[in-house]
Amino acid sequence: MQLVKPTKRYEQSWKEALCEFEMEKRKGFWNIPEKPVDLDEYIERTEAHSHGKNLPDYWVPADTYWLIDEGQFVGHVNIRHELNDKLKKIGGHIGYAIRPSARKKGYGMKILELALPKAREAGLQKALITCHDSNVASIKIIEKNNAKLQDIIDVDGEKIRRYWMDLR
């Protein structure tokens, strides 16, 4: 199991995951403003975003990685180099998603574990990670990775947990 930058090598399983996310009405997992239709364009955009180029309004520089297991796309993680006001409330430095067909198999724990060294490489000494108060699986994953709960806030009527992790 490994984290890799988006690549054509796993295009078929990535496209299958996009369909899975769409079926559950999940939007935005692809880290560009609209659903990608072309993997080459997606790769180009995520690479530019990692260097702070061509960022949509209110976005910050971020690195995107894919979790690959046995040659298949399992999920993705986005490591944001800094926070804006919105990300301080919801989103944080590290956001990840596991494709629906791969959930409840330990991949959430693994993707966060593998993302922490990448966050350190990006220069972060501590990281904010958020999740919905109702997302029991994410709460367990975040807490098992030694994150400390800062607070639970209301964002547009939803309870959001905000955790901090020391990366030093």
Q: Which residues contact 164 (CB under 8 A, 6 or more apart)?
A: 126, 127, 128, 129, 147, 148, 150
- What is the average pLDDT across 156-164? 95
Q: Which residues contact 70 (CB under 8 A, 6 or more apart)?
A: none
Indicate the pTM of the whole model: 0.90
Q: What pLDDT is recorded for position 79?
A: 96
Q: What is the pLDDT of residues 114-143, one digit of tens each?
A: 999 999 999 999 999 999 999 999 999 999
DSSP reduced 3-state for 137: helix
Q: What pLDDT is recorded for position 43?
A: 93
Give residue limits of the domains in the chain. Answer: 2-124
Assign domain 2-124 to its CATH architecture.
3-Layer(aba) Sandwich (3.40)
pLDDT at 47 over 70: yes
Q: What percent of the chain has pLDDT over 70?
A: 93
